[in-house]
Amino acid sequence: MALGCGGTLGKVFLILINIIFFLLGLGLLIVGALMKANVKIVTDEVKPALNTVTVSSYKLGDLADNLSVVFIVIGVFIFIVAGLGLFGACCQNRCMLVTYAILVLILFIAKIAAIALWFTMQGEVEDKVKNEMLTSLQTHFTDDSVDTGSEVSRSWNYMFMTLDCCAINKVTSGTNDFDQSPWCTATGKSCKDSSAEVPRTCCVGVVASTYTAATAPCTTGVSGYNTMGCYDALKAEIDSYSTPVIGVGITILVIENYSGVQAASVIKLFIFQQE
C-alpha cells in the first residue's frame, strides 16, 4: 500500500526515534556490563556486611550484586521494543506496530511510577539504610582483623579497605561509631585497651596483606585514616551508576511518549488508510 506524505513523514520519524531508542538501550546495557565488571562493591568478602541491611525485605548486598543484571535486562527489553518499532515501520507491519505501541505504553506507565516512587522514597530509604548499617557495625564488629571474629566483622574490615572508608559516619575524633561496637565494649577487646580509636583496616592505603603493619598515628592519633564514612562511600559508588541510568530513563520516557503517539499515527496513515 502506498504511503501519503503524512505517512512517509511519520514512518521516517518513527525510524529515527527508534534508532535513538535502540542507542539508549545500548547505553543501559553498557552501564550494566560496566557495573557487573566492577566488583568493588559486591565482592564475596564485602557482601556479608551489606546483607545485614535490608531494603524492602531484600538484602542490600544481593541488591547491589543484582542491580547490574537488572540494567542489562532492561537494556535488552528496550532493544526488543526498538526493534519492533524499526521493523514495523520499515516493513509497514501492522501487528508489529500495534505490539510496539502497547509495549511503549506499558513501559511509559511503569517508568513514570518507578521514577515517582524513587524520588518520593529516596530520603526515607537512605535514612533507613544508614541507620541499619550503623546498627550492624555496632552489633557485629568485634575485631579489626580479616582472620578473626565473625564473618560479618571480617566483612566490615574488608569494606573499610575496599571502599577506602571508615565507620558509617565520618570519623572526626576519638568519639565515633566504633565506641558502641563489641570491638570496644567487650572485655579483652583491643579498642580502648590499646588506646585505638579506629581499626587498623581504616588506615589509608592498607590491604589485606598489609593492614597488620598499620602504625599508631592512624589507629590512636586519629590521623592517616580514611576520612569518608562507609555510608557516603557506598552511596557514591551506587550514584556513579544510578545518575546516568536515571538520566537515560527520563530521556527514554520522553522518547516513549513521542514514539507511542507517532506509532499510532503511522498505523492510522499507512495501515488503515486506503489510497
**Tens-place pLDDT, residues 168-199:** 999 888 789 999 999 988 766 778 777 888 99
User: d(Cα 155, Cα 163) in Å, to the nearest integer?
Assistant: 12
Q: What is the pLDDT of residue 166?
A: 93
Question: How far, in Å, are 27, 96, 203, 241 from residue 133 at the CA level?
Answer: 32, 48, 20, 21
Higher pLDDT, 155 or 129: 155
Q: What is the pLDDT of residue 154?
A: 94
Supply the DSSP string of 35-94, one letter for each residue: HHH--SSS-TTTHHHHTTSEETTEEHHHHHHHHHHHHHHHHHHHHHHHHHHHHHHHHT-H
Higher pLDDT, 30 or 131: 131
Query: Would the pTM count as exceeding 0.75?
Result: no
Q: What is the pLDDT of residue 165?
A: 93
Query: Stretch 61-73: mean pLDDT, rounded?
Result: 75
Contact between residue 162 and residue 43 where contact means Cβ atoms under 8 Å apart: yes
Q: Give the residue from 42, 31, 60, 33 showing the smallest Cα distance to 163.
A: 42
Q: Give the residue from 156, 214, 215, 163 showing the smallest Cα distance to 181.
A: 156
Contact between residue 214 and residue 226 where contact means Cβ atoms under 8 Å apart: no
Contact between residue 252 and residue 78 where contact means Cβ atoms under 8 Å apart: yes
Grid cell locating 47: 557482601
**Tens-place pLDDT, residues 203-259:** 998 999 999 888 778 888 778 889 899 999 988 887 776 666 666 666 666 666 655
Question: How far, in Å, are 22, 79, 94, 105, 260 from residue 264 at the CA level?
Answer: 19, 20, 10, 11, 6
Average pLDDT, the chain: 77
Kindly report the backbone phi and psi dihedral angles of residue 206, in degrees, each rounded to the nearest multiple of 5, phi listed first.
Answer: -80, 150
Q: What is the pLDDT of residue 3?
A: 46
